[in-house]
Structure 1
Amino acid sequence: MRPRLVLHSARLLDPATGGFLPETALAVGEDGRIAALGDDEEVRALAGPATTVVGLDGAVVTPGLVDGHVHPVSGAELTHGLDLSGCAGLDDVRAALAERVRSLGRGEWLFGWGLDPNVFGDRPVAVEPFDAVLDGVPAFLLLFDAHSALASRRALELAGVDGPRTFGQASAEVVCDADGRPTGLLQEDAACELVERAAPRPTHEERRDRLAAALRAMAAAGLTGGHAMDANGESLALYAELDAAGELPLRLRVAPWCQPGTDADGVRELIAGQGAGGALWQVAGVKLFMDGTIDNGTAWLERPDCHGESTHAFWPDPAVYTAIVGELHRAGVPTATHAIGDAAVRHVLDSIEKARATGGVPGVRHRVEHIETVPDDTLGRFRELGVIASMQPTHCCDFTRADHTDNWSRRLGEERAARAWRCRDLWDSGATVVLGSDWPIAPFPPLGVMAGARHRRPGRDLTLPPHGPEQALTALEALRGMTTAPAYAAGEEDRAGRLAPGHRGDLTVFAGDPLTTPATELPGLPVLLTAVDGRLTHRAPQV
């Protein structure tokens, strides 16, 4: 059988060793697996009339890059609005909002995303600074962490939100002033949804087109796969539709949410749904939350932050979370738990330890997502329990500062801010560290994620000092964090993450060597080609 893809005149980079393979060409068979490695002449001889043959003139081929934590559907929808991520102060935000308001029709909603709480300085995060600009305009402005939002006065009115509410999520809140009037700040999904339900929603076709465009952009950035950490709304139907049409350019591993209030039937439904999918997507795992975020005071810390906040778990009764993790473990379902604060991370590790003690299916690989601050005695437990550390270094780079004057660091204080995003310590402790973007929270281009893991500087100004340079990863470790590590986390190390016969033909091709390109220059390294299952999903014009 003739291969579907042949790449030749290439340098084949092995992330397991950090060296180049002796071969200069590879072929991917009709089954989507690497069928042969060899020299140019022998591999080119395998090609048939239907084979795509690409000469790379010394370009570097790596296993396809995988984003270990991404939200494709919600990201495609959220980023359709006004991008506020570049605003450095309140005046910048007001100017951006004013410009967008001028383009709106009567009664039309304004949607924004990426709002950094640091723009408020020492002021409380509230809609009041924007009241004059948003007078009479229904607006919903998502903060950068996507766990909180600001709603304008008109949006609150249309949603019927005129005071505090009670939610099943312990950290969810309609924040109100001393007189019980909403300030516009909505904490966590349950509160945000009060206003989102009142806003116009995109059609199915609009969602599909936005998702397809976002996935194409990801492929062009070098991604061949992603661990999708939600299955909300129409997500699974959209993946199925694109997959059936041959328009899914990434291989997606999807983890539906399990929220507080999920009953026994709901857990059984999550277990029964495992394995659903198509050619390039599959439901594999369950996503849970142990806390919120440090920036909005909803993380779970062992000691309160400087405002006396971040003292509670996301689950009103954390023991219920522990019981559900145990049930999923015994059913062989891997879990991925959002845990940002030190108390949250500790509770997740304790829960996984209890689950493992009950037996169950051997080899289940559980994960902790984010891990923004943890004490020393937590580090070694990841290796001991076989728990994957899933981290997003660009969150540290872009939303905190080396001098700890940012909102995240000021809330935690010097001791805890000094142990931010301990990628190096977790790696050295023997944990498997998976890297990702958490898009739309941070940009998805994987070279930027890998660069941030190495330099730990703000991507918008690389002249600024790094935050915790002692926690940086090497170039090879960063590459492994997006190749071999996500393959291991998915239990697919025997068929993914390497350039070897029998492994998937998911490939990323760069104009130069990502291991020798300086970290500050890495985001600009051209991505020449990406392939999934040996089918090209991106090809630069010059290739």
Structure 2
Amino acid sequence: MTPDLIVLADTIHTMDERHQDQSVQAVAVSGGLITAVGSRQDAKDWQQADTRVVDLGNATLTPGLVDCHMHPVFGLDLTIGVDLAAATSLDEVFTLLSAEAADDGGWLRGWGLNPNAFGTVPLHRSVLDTVTGDQPALIRLFDGHSALANSRALELAGVHGRFEFDQASEVVCDADGVPTGLLLEAAAMELVQRHIPQESFAQRKTRLAELLGDFARSGLTGGHIMDHSEESTALFQALEADGELPLRLRAAPWCMPGSGEAEWKELARSIGTGGRRWSIEAIKLFVDGTVDNGTAWLYEADIHGQSTAPFWPRPEEYSAAVRYFASRGIPTATHAIGDAGVDHVLEALESLRNNVPADILHRTVHRIEHIETVPDELVARFKGAGVVASMQPTHCTHYSLADHSDNWSTRLGSERADRAWRCRDLRDAGVTLGIGSDWPIAPYEPLPIIADAQLRRRSGNPEQEPIAPSQALTALQALEGYTSHAAKAAGQWDVSGSITVGKRADFTAFELDPLATIPDEFAASSVLGTFVDGEIQFMLERQA
């Protein structure tokens, strides 16, 4: 077959072990699939008169990078207002909020707030009131699982005391039952969120298109979206009506506490639906919240006596939901951060051997997302259970510190904080490890994330002490987390994840070689281009 496209590069990492002893510098593409892999000399034999040739010179080409955990549509809500992620003190928070309040006559919104910026000052509505006055305000914390509302916002929402929820959500109240303004988990935040004027569909479509374009320019050719809604479907359909999406998107709608077989059946019916470059392929569940806001599920309470309850008030109902989907060959991905939470998910997945036919079980991939603090015994069980680990290195490097003075580590205590994000132990145990950003919880740019996974500190900050440096990945393992292991984490290794004949022609081109460049230098380097289905989605203009 005459190739539509030939891509040449001095260095090509195929991530296919069959090519590891070969010098590959050329890839041929026809109809969106890879048809040949070889040398520059081979490419001369493949080329025909109408073949397009893209010569990247001394660049490095790899399979397309895939972010294994992101929230592009849900993130539209989480990123409205002022970005507070860079604020490291309460004064900086006040300065940013004051500037935003002056420009907005409606609700004051903010996101990315790190509780470490408050120091010893409690997260309380009165802190916001000093800046906002009578202007209603809702500020999202960086973990995406909590928010702080001021007094006016609580008044408009009619939130005057405690609420009961079907899931582990909480309107935090003081000893007198008066709300402090701190809202934990989605159901509590929604009490206030529903009163805020919403963007138009056209505005959200524009923002999403810009975001997906930014993803492509960062080097991503795909993403595993850990949420989905009717609005997501409408937005993706509207974007595809205008043209192709710049990357592939694999979505997983939420299965929440309080649901039963009727709701599970509807979720199951959605599997396989989608468009040309997006589809619903898995179900997302939660078994706990986050350490930072006291809603993780730990064997033993944190120093505040919190993080002892599961997100599903009756965890056996979570296990029943997993069995329902698994028995139908539907992949699941479960948010589990604390040791008790991870333990319960592993137990539920281990039980599938006795409840799901072997042929269905072996072809269905089940994942645990985040896995922030676990003992040795749980690490060892991943391999035996055949469970994929999906982790975000920058959750560690951006929000914890080697000296354990940060909020996450302080809550857990040194012993549990020393078990932080055990990426290397899981890899050494033979576990598939997909890597992602969890955007907008952390930045989406993959190059710094690949670097942080090796450094165990923020790239570009050599003065910082590494956090649990024994958990550092090699350069190859970090790249695999975005390529071959990302494909395996989605059950798509047969069609993607390596530059192999017959697989999708999705590629990322780098200025520097990710396997031969110092991580700090690689993090600061450029992505030269991305290809999806053999079509250029982005190409950086290079100086001659």
Q: Please state which band the TM-score falls in when normalised by the shorter chain.
A: over 0.9
Is 1:205 the counterpart of 2:202? The answer is yes
- Which one is further off, 250-259 or 127-136? 127-136
Is 1:27 the counterpart of 2:24? The answer is no
Preserved contact between residue 12 and residue 20 of structure 1 (Cα < 8 Å):
no
State the alpha-carbon separation in 1 of the partners of residues 317 and 246 from structure 2: 38
Preserved contact between residue 221 and residue 446 of structure 1 (Cα < 8 Å):
yes
Q: Give the secondary-structure state (helix, strand or coil) at the position aligned to 1:72.
A: coil
Q: Give the secondary-structure state (helix, strand or coil) at the position aligned to 1:528.
A: strand
- What TM-score, normalized by structure 1, do the two folds share? 0.96
State the alpha-carbon separation in 1 of the partners of residues 226 and 431 from structure 2: 21
The equivalent residue for 1:352 is: 349
* Cα distance change, pair 246–187 in 1 and its aligned pair in 2 (3 A): same
Letter in 2 for 1:13: H
State the alpha-carbon separation in 2 of the partners of residues 462 and 141 from structure 1: 32
Q: Give the secondary-structure state (helix, strand or coil) at the position aligned to 1:14.
A: coil
The equivalent residue for 2:157 is: 159
Q: How much has 1:536 moved relative to structure 2?
A: 0.9
Preserved contact between residue 530 and residue 539 of structure 2 (Cα < 8 Å):
yes
Is 1:341 the counterpart of 2:342? The answer is no
Q: C-alpha deviations, 1:33-82, integer Å up to 9, x for none? A: 11122333543564567654311112100000000111111123422421
Q: Give the secondary-structure state (helix, strand or coil) at the position aligned to 1:131.
A: helix
Is 1:180 the counterpart of 2:181? The answer is no
Q: C-alpha deviations, 1:483-511, integer Å up to 9, x for none? A: 00011112211221111111111000001
Preserved contact between residue 71 and residue 227 of structure 2 (Cα < 8 Å):
yes
* Cα distance change, pair 85–462 in 1 and its aligned pair in 2 (3 A): farther
State the alpha-carbon separation in 2 of the partners of residues 63 and 55 from structure 1: 16
Q: How much has 1:365 moved relative to structure 2?
A: 1.2
- Which one is further off, 37-46 or 231-240? 37-46
Q: How much has 1:214 moved relative to structure 2?
A: 0.6
1:349-498 to 2 correspondences below 5 Å:
349-360=346-357, 361-363=360-362, 364-459=364-459, 461-498=461-498
Preserved contact between residue 14 and residue 20 of structure 1 (Cα < 8 Å):
no
Preserved contact between residue 460 and residue 520 of structure 2 (Cα < 8 Å):
no
The equivalent residue for 1:243 is: 240
Structure 1 residue ranges without an equivalent (≥5): none
Preserved contact between residue 224 and residue 251 of structure 1 (Cα < 8 Å):
yes
Preserved contact between residue 315 and residue 321 of structure 1 (Cα < 8 Å):
yes
Q: Give the secondary-structure state (helix, strand or coil) at the position aligned to 1:492.
A: coil
State the alpha-carbon separation in 1 of the partners of residues 475 and 241 from structure 2: 37
Q: How much has 1:10 moved relative to structure 2?
A: 3.4
Q: How much has 1:11 moved relative to structure 2?
A: 1.7
Q: CA RMSD in A?
A: 1.6
Is 1:263 the counterpart of 2:264? The answer is no
The equivalent residue for 1:518 is: 518
Q: Return structure 1 stretches of 4+ with deviation > 6 angstroms.
A: none
Identity %: 50
Letter in 1 for 2:289: G
1:113-124 to 2 correspondences below 5 Å:
113-124=111-122
Preserved contact between residue 340 and residue 371 of structure 1 (Cα < 8 Å):
yes
- Which one is further off, 68-77 or 283-292? 68-77
State the alpha-carbon separation in 2 of the partners of residues 21 and 338 from structure 1: 40
Letter in 1 for 2:361: P
Letter in 2 for 1:109: W
State the alpha-carbon separation in 1 of the partners of residues 208 and 455 from structure 2: 31
Q: In the alignment, which of 315, 319, 336 is matched to residue 318 of structure 1? A: 315
Preserved contact between residue 69 and residue 435 of structure 1 (Cα < 8 Å):
yes
The equivalent residue for 1:538 is: 538
Q: How much has 1:90 moved relative to structure 2?
A: 0.4
Q: Give the secondary-structure state (helix, strand or coil) at the position aligned to 2:131.
A: coil
Q: C-alpha deviations, 1:437-458, integer Å up to 9, x for none? A: 0000000011111111111113
- Which one is further off, 132-141 or 36-45? 36-45
- Which one is further off, 38-47 or 51-60? 38-47
- What TM-score, normalized by structure 2, do the two folds share? 0.96
Q: How much has 1:281 moved relative to structure 2?
A: 1.1
Structure 2 residue ranges without an equivalent (≥5): none
State the alpha-carbon separation in 1 of the partners of residues 76 and 10 from structure 2: 34
The equivalent residue for 1:286 is: 283
Letter in 2 for 1:500: T
Q: C-alpha deviations, 1:11-52, integer Å up to 9, x for none? A: 21133459584232112112x111122333543564567654
The equivalent residue for 2:306 is: 309
* Cα distance change, pair 72–52 in 1 and its aligned pair in 2 (3 A): farther
* Cα distance change, pair 508–205 in 1 and its aligned pair in 2 (3 A): same
* Cα distance change, pair 540–459 in 1 and its aligned pair in 2 (3 A): same
Preserved contact between residue 64 and residue 506 of structure 2 (Cα < 8 Å):
yes
- Which one is further off, 1-10 or 58-67? 1-10
Q: C-alpha deviations, 1:223-249, integer Å up to 9, x for none? A: 000110000351122122223432411
State the alpha-carbon separation in 1 of the partners of residues 38 and 350 from structure 2: 46
Q: How much has 1:464 moved relative to structure 2?
A: 0.9
State the alpha-carbon separation in 2 of the partners of residues 10 and 195 from structure 1: 55
